[in-house]
Structures are given as structure tokens and as C-alpha cells.
Amino acid sequence: MARRLPPLSALRPFEAAARLESFSRAAEELHLTHGAVSHQVRALEEHLGAPLFARHGKRVALTAAGREFAERVRSALDEIAQAAERVKPARRDNRLTVSVLPSFATGWLMPRLIRFMEAHPKIEVNVLATNTLADFERDEVDVAIRFGRGPWPPLVCEQFLDDEFFPVAGARTKAPRSPRDLLGMRLIREDKHYWPEWFAAAGVTVDTPIEGPTFNDASYSMQAAARGEGIALARRSIAMDDIERGRLKRLFAVSYPAPERYWFVSPRALAGAARVKAFRDWVRSELEGG
């Protein structure tokens, strides 16, 4: 007789919500929305025919039945994780998986990576270019390069590069005479942009919201600017190669220091691995060499 199992997709959101006693914190941990966690828990409660949480406005607390069920679910998930580890092939010490932002991969890492591979021919490099936060376990990521305010404990986080923003345009784009003239041009934005801060640094008062095409990654902004589709606010780290090659040109000497920085991020168990250390040392040496 087949077992009538609860909706398995709801077990992880429920376990996280029970452990953290918060749907919002569970959603953050699992990279889901608050609504998705709430929906999964509701589906589980409907299947069981019993409330697992008592709701008090935005606060939730486990019921007695929810507490007992959470203990059993947690134990079952631990057993599944242990079983998966036993059958998973051992991670090869010569494989290095790097999670990196597409903008940094395109603008800095990929043009130089051949030098790392030539210096370390026994290390097999796997690059995951994504804006999504690394799942170190699921994707077997060794080290991530992230741009943010950091750090993010309990991960080992090492700052390695500051940055700054300045406007860039395509090589054939007619350059404006002054920073204020940019307000009359098409300004390319990203999901999180610092145009108002740059204008303030340039001594320009901005009275209306800045509008223009928006991209979710800086590499797309750079490509659009190079094609002459507008003016982008570039990070020095990912624009300098294109400027040196003549695809982009910098506009004005004014820059705005980025409040975020670049970080190496690794699980504590992997931070000291030889392949990770070799990669970190190589990135630093490349930056020091220009």
C-alpha cells in the first residue's frame, strides 16, 4: 500500500520557519518570498488537518503539534542529507568552482583567466556567472566573488577590492560639455544605481527622478553604452578594459566611491583549500599588476 506523504516541497520551508520562528527569515534563508513560505505552510496544514503555527499578526509561534512535527521533519531531513553525502562522489581536489557576478566575469575575470589556468594546469576551473547568491552545497561552489557591503557570516569573507563609479559612453558618442548636460541625455541605469550620488559629487542638483533604460547587471549597461544607446555609470573594475581598448570612453574626472566592495566568500571548510588559496592569490597578484 502506497504511503500518503505530505507535500514534500513544503517540508523545507516549514522546517526553516519552525527553526527560525519567522516566515520572513525562512524566506530569506531559502531565497523565497514570504508569500511562498506562507503558502507552503498552509498547504502542509491543510494536508495534515491541523494548525502548525499560531498566527499573531506578523508573528508566528509553533503549536504543540507543530513542535512535535518539526522535530520529526528535521530528523528526517538530516537523515536524507547524510544519505546523500554517502552516495555523492567525493569532490575532486583539483576542481575549482567559482561563482561570480556576470559583470565581473565579463569585464575582468574572463579576459585574464587563461593566465591562471596556465599557471595551474592541474586545477580544473568551472565558472558560474550568475547574480544569484551561491548555494555552496548544492552547486559545489568553492569560492564566490561578490560585490556588496559584507561580510556574511558564518561564511569566510575577505575584502579584496574597492571600486568607484564614473560615467562612460560609446567611443562615437558625442561627449557632453559639463556634468549638468548629462541630465538631457539618455542615462542607463541598473536595479541599484548611484546616479544621484554621482551628480551630487559633481556639484549638480537633480530636481526630478532620473529615468532611462534599466538593466539587472552592469555588463549589459556597458554593452548598451558601447553601442551608443546611452550613458552608463560604470564601475572602474569592469570598465577599464573596454576604455583601454577604445570601446568606451570615460566622461569627466569626477567619480563616486562605491559603498560596496568586492569580496572572496567561501564556506569555512573550504577557505583554506589549496585550490581556493591559489585562486585568491592569483586574483590579488593580477590586481597588483594592473
The DSSP secondary structure of 111-159, one letter per residue, reads HHHHHHHHH-TTSEEEEEE-SSPP-TTTTT-SEEEEEES---TTSEEEE
What pLDDT does 176 receive? 95
Residue 204 CB-half CA count within 13 A? 17
Give the number of other Cβ atoms within 10 Å of residue 145's Cβ: 23
Picking from 260, 280, 262, 256, the residue whose alpha carbon sits closest to that of residue 270 is 280
Q: Which residues contact 258 (CB under 8 A, 6 or more apart)?
A: 162, 163, 164, 165, 194, 235
Q: Where are the domains positioned within the chain?
A: 8-87, 95-163+260-288, 164-257
The rounded distance, in Å, linking the Cα atoms of 111 and 92 is 26
Question: CA–CA distance from 29 to each of 18, 26, 101, 130 (Å)?
Answer: 13, 5, 20, 18
Q: What is the pLDDT along the chain (290 residues), one digit of tens a residue?
A: 456 788 888 999 999 889 988 888 888 888 888 888 999 999 999 999 999 999 887 788 999 999 999 999 988 888 887 777 666 655 567 899 999 999 999 989 999 999 999 999 999 999 999 888 888 888 889 999 999 998 998 999 999 999 999 999 999 999 999 999 999 999 999 877 899 999 999 999 998 889 899 998 898 999 999 999 999 999 999 999 999 999 999 999 999 999 999 999 999 999 999 999 999 999 999 998 76
pLDDT at residue 88, as a whole number: 61
Domain 95-163+260-288 and domain 164-257 have a common topology: yes
Instruction: Say what the pLDDT of residue 21 is.
Output: 86
**Distance set, CA 249 to CA 17, 109, 173, 240, 261 (Å):** 50, 21, 9, 9, 23
Give the Cα separation of 165 and 236 in Å (integer).
6
Domain 164-257 is of which CATH architecture?
3-Layer(aba) Sandwich (3.40)
Q: What are phi and psi of 154, to 5 degrees?
A: -85, 10
| Among candidate residues 173, 141, 165, 181, the one with its CA nearest the CA of residue 276 | 141
Q: Taking a C-beta distance cutoff of 8 angstroms, is the pair 168, 243 a contact?
A: yes
Q: Nearest 5°: phi and psi at 62?
A: -65, 140
Q: Measured between alpha carbons, how far is 124 from 138 in angstroms, rounded to an integer? A: 19
CATH of domain 95-163+260-288: 3.40.190.10
pTM of the model: 0.65
Residue 215: closest CA among 236, 190, 244: 190
Strand 261-266 and strand 156-161: the pairing is antiparallel
pLDDT at 1: 43
Looking at the domain 8-87, which fold is it? Arc Repressor Mutant, subunit A (1.10.10)
What span, in angstroms and rounded, lies between the C-alpha atoms of 208 and 228?
A: 24
